[in-house]
């Protein structure tokens, strides 16, 4: 879904997802509903040591004003929470790519997560600590505001309570929430990072199931959406770490294979099919004047109609928009780039010429690593 850039803090782009823009009016209505105002008015009144004027809070369009201010204040608080993570990451010289606000809160995207347990621990807890600090500042505001400032007092008091609840909820050990990352960091103190991730991910998926069941019983779509997010993110993180471990220490040049089977770009489709049968290969590197310019596979051929097969050449069929990478690039980074580009292969430029790497090459390398247990290149 589309994101909109709203500002930049410390060089970090702050973006708002369209899901949040759609949800904000709903959230404002939910907060400003009579039951919510009545419930929180008692809590805020207790914090302020005074009784809030419910009639004034619920009169006319005031509930909409209260709900809108509280909803916007909540996502300002979420932004500060994510900036807490970002500040801690930057203290360790880690690059923060962006912060995105969406329907379930905020996401700080890091170029690379640290594997040192202490770094991940402090980056993870920095967000909840920031939320508690924001809650404390809001509480100080509640004590400083006059009792006559009913609307402001309610909104600031609501934010004080909500920020503390935000910190507490984020510390639930449901990986990849903050509490789950803290759990992984503590597990990684005395076990391999991949093993710690698997354990934290399993606990995260267990919480996802609990959230889904509770969300279904209470008819809470947001809780069900959160459960789906936790499940997908936990399993995805576990898979990513496992792949990273299997490719650790390898460059893409170690994984890539030399260009052995080639076909000229101006060859006919009929020539290509003959070559596929003769060489028993479903994939060829395409060359033009001795230079590698693309890749063609049997899947590309299958997508052609009969008329196209008779009229087209390999140049019409091949995939040309392939990523180009240096041979000394880390293998895992190359796999991520290949997936991001949604390409079937990548061209690897090294001192001994251009090689080709496909997902099958990565799969073979990881399977060899898993079977042999070696930590070095092949």
Q: What confidence tens digit (pLDDT) does each residue in 186-226 have?
A: 999 988 888 888 889 899 999 999 999 988 988 888 788 88
pLDDT(103) > 70: yes
Residue 1's contacts (CB-CB under 8 Å, 6 or more residues apart) are 17, 18, 19
Helix, strand, coil share of the chain (percent; to 5): 60, 15, 20
Q: Which residues are catalytic?
A: 82
Q: Using one digit for the tens of pLDDT, what is the confidence trace for 84-93?
A: 999 999 999 9
User: 160-169, 201-210, 304-313: which has the minimum mean pLDDT?
Assistant: 304-313
Q: Using one digit for the tens of pLDDT, what is the confidence trace for 309-345?
A: 666 777 766 666 778 888 888 887 878 777 777 777 7
85 is in an annotated binding site: yes
User: 64-73, 113-122, 234-243: which has the minimum mean pLDDT?
Assistant: 234-243
pLDDT band at 377 (very low <50, low <70, confident <90, very high): very low
Q: Using one digit for the tens of pLDDT, what is the confidence trace for 8-44?
A: 999 999 999 998 888 888 888 888 876 788 888 888 8
Q: Using one digit for the tens of pLDDT, what is the confidence trace for 123-137?
A: 999 999 999 999 999
Report the Cα 305 to chain-centroid distance in Å: 39
Measuring CA to CA, how many Å separate 248 from each of 186, 197, 229?
Answer: 22, 16, 28
Provide the pLDDT for residue 320.
64
User: 107-121, 247-261, 291-305, 330-344: which has the minimum mean pLDDT?
Assistant: 291-305
Provide the pLDDT for residue 122.
95
In the chain, the percentage of residues whose pLDDT exceeds 70 is: 89
**Contact call for residues 86 and 96 (beta carbons, < 8 A):** yes
Measuring CA to CA, how many Å separate 277 from each of 273, 281, 286, 296, 302?
Answer: 6, 7, 17, 14, 15
Give the span between the Cα atoms of 139 and 120, in whole angstroms: 29
- Measuring CA to CA, which residue among 249, 6, 211, 250 is closest to residue 106? 6
pLDDT(182) > 90: yes
**Which residue reads 């087209």 in tokens?**
312
> What's the N-to-C CA distance of the chain in angstroms?
41
User: What tokens does 283 get?
Assistant: 């994939």
């Amino acid at each position: 879904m589309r994101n909109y850039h709203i500002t930049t803090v410390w060089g970090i782009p702050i973006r708002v997802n369209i899901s949040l823009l759609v949800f904000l009016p709903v959230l404002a209505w939910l907060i400003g509903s009579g039951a919510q105002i009545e419930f929180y008015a008692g809590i805020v009144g207790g914090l302020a040591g005074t009784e809030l004027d419910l009639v004034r809070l619920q009169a006319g369009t005031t509930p909409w004003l209260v709900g809108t201010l509280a909803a916007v204040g909540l996502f300002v608080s979420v932004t500060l929470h994510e900036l807490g993570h970002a500040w801690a990451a930057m203290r360790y010289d880690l690059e923060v790519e962006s912060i995105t606000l969406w329907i379930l809160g905020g996401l700080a995207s890091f170029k690379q997560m640290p594997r040192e347990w202490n770094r991940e621990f402090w980056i993870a807890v920095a967000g909840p600590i920031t939320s508690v600090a924001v809650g404390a500042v809001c509480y100080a505001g509640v004590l400083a505001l006059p009792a006559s400032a009913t609307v402001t007092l309610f909104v600031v008091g609501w934010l004080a309570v909500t920020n503390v609840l935000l910190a507490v909820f984020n510390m639930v050990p449901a990986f990849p929430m903050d509490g789950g990352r803290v759990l992984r960091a503590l597990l990684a103190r005395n076990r391999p990072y991949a093993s710690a991730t698997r354990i934290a991910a399993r606990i995260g998926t267990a919480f996802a199931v609990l959230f889904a069941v509770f969300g279904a019983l209470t008819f809470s779509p947001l809780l069900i959406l959160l459960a789906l997010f936790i499940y997908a993110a936990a399993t995805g993180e576990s898979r990513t770490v496992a792949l990273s471990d299997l490719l650790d220490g390898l460059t893409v040049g170690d994984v890539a294979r030399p260009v052995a089977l080639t076909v000229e770009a101006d060859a006919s489709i009929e020539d290509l099919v003959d070559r596929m049968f003769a060489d028993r290969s479903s994939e060829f590197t395409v060359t033009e004047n001795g230079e590698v310019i693309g890749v063609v596979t049997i899947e590309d051929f299958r997508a052609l109609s009969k008329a196209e097969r008779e009229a087209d050449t390999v140049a019409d069929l091949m995939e040309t928009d392939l990523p180009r990478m240096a041979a000394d690039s880390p293998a895992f980074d190359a796999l991520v780039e290949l997936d991001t580009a949604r390409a079937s292969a990548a061209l690897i430029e090294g001192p001994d010429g251009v090689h080709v790497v496909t997902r099958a090459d990565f799969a073979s390398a990881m399977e060899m690593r898993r079977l042999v247990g070696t930590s070095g290149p092949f």
